[in-house]
Amino acid sequence: MRLTFLGTGTSTGVPSIGCDCDTCVSDDPRDKRLRVSVLIEHAGRSILVDTSIDFRQQALRANIRHLDAVLITHCHVDHVFGLDDIRPLNFRYGAMGVYANEIAWTDLRRIFQYIFKPTHFGGGLPQLIPHTVVPNAPFMIGEEIEITPLEVTHGRLPVIAYRFNDFAYATDLKSIPPGSMDQLRGLDVLVLDCVRFKPHSTHLCLDEALAYIEDLKPKRSYLTHLNHDVLHARDSHMLPENVWFAYDELVVESR
């Protein structure tokens, strides 16, 4: 399984508009963070997690030519406002399966009402095949990718983390319920939310993320959804063995 980090930044992206901090003025490409998204490729299938607000730029940069499915973690702007940009893939390959929980579908249908209740003609519309995911109810994409949706909590909002075989992607969370913790054990690779160093009301800070990693004991862990507090070269020494700050365009191979 091949994982490509399309974006690893918090909701404002990094650099942040109007900021002259060390990270925002850094010339290290690892400090340039588009909004979070990841591409999973395995057994001839390509799966996107979240159509980030930067999806068009990410897709061009990563040379995405085809997607078999889109998975949505939750319906916040930075994670879904690139949904319209799947249209060129629709033009070539037809309608695409999009997977989200019931809460996210309610908001997606409201925000993108023009897709679901079109009132005019003349512009191309994204072609979606909606699927509602249920926590702890696995489904398959192709014959070799089993996906298990897992509920985590982002403030008070239920968010879906996804386990793909022995890889899991869990962003935008403050806590992980016990049942989901059980499903996140035995991993080869865990990608986990970590917005900054000091505590945050709806995201994991570094100490909280590392505590979950210590409990879950994946073989490798990557921290994502990073804000501009994190300067990659300066701060990577703070991480324990087999834990890294993710960065845009990083490619990781998993089982």
At 137-149, the pLDDT tens digits run 999 999 999 999 9
Long-range contacts from 77-80, C-beta under 8 angstroms, 24+ separation: 77/11, 77/53, 78/10, 78/11, 78/35, 78/36, 78/52, 78/53, 79/35, 79/36, 79/37, 79/50, 79/51, 79/52, 79/53, 79/172, 80/50, 80/51, 80/52, 80/53, 80/104, 80/108, 80/111
- pLDDT bucket at 212, cuts 50 / 70 / 90: very high
Which pLDDT score, from 0 to 100, does residue 127 have?
94
Question: Tell me, what's the pLDDT at 130?
Answer: 97
**Band (203; pLDDT cuts 50, 70, 90):** very high
Task: Please count the residues of the chain.
Answer: 255
User: What is the band of 105 on the pLDDT scale with cuts at 50, 70, 90?
Assistant: very high
Q: What are the helix and strand counts (H, E) for the chain?
A: 8, 14
CA 228/CA 135 separation, integer angstroms? 32
Q: Whole-number mean pLDDT of the chain? A: 96
With the C-alpha atoms ordered 93, 94, 100, 106, is the resulting torsion angle positive or negative? positive
pLDDT for the residue numbered 44: 95
Tens-place pLDDT, residues 184-196: 999 999 999 999 9
Q: What is the pLDDT of residue 238?
A: 95
* Reported confidence tier of residue 86, pLDDT bands at 50, 70, 90: very high
Q: Decide if 41 contacts 49 (C-beta within 8 A).
A: no
In percent, how much of the chain has pLDDT > 90? 96
Q: How confident is the model at residue 150 (pLDDT cuts 50, 70, 90)?
A: very high
Q: Given this model, what pLDDT does residue 118 score?
A: 83
Cα–Cα distance, 242 to 171 (Å, whole number): 19
Q: Residue 88 has what pLDDT?
A: 95
Q: For residue 123, is pLDDT > 80?
A: no
The whole-angstrom separation of Cα 189 and Cα 125 is: 36
**How confident is residue 122, by pLDDT bands cut at 50, 70 and 90?**
low
pLDDT per residue over 6-48, tens digit each? 999 999 999 999 999 999 999 999 999 999 999 999 999 999 9
Confidence of residue 119 (pLDDT cuts 50, 70, 90): confident
pLDDT at 91 over 70: yes
Q: DSSP per residue over 89-106, as a string?
A: HHHHH--EEEEE-HHHHH
Say what the pLDDT of residue 188 is.
Answer: 97
pTM: 0.96
Q: Which domains does the chain have, with CATH numbers?
A: 2-250 (3.60.15.10)
Name the strand (E) or helix (H) holding 189: strand 189-193
Q: In this structure, which amino acid lies at residue 101? A: N
Measured CA to CA, the distance from residue 132 to residue 192 in angstroms comes to 23
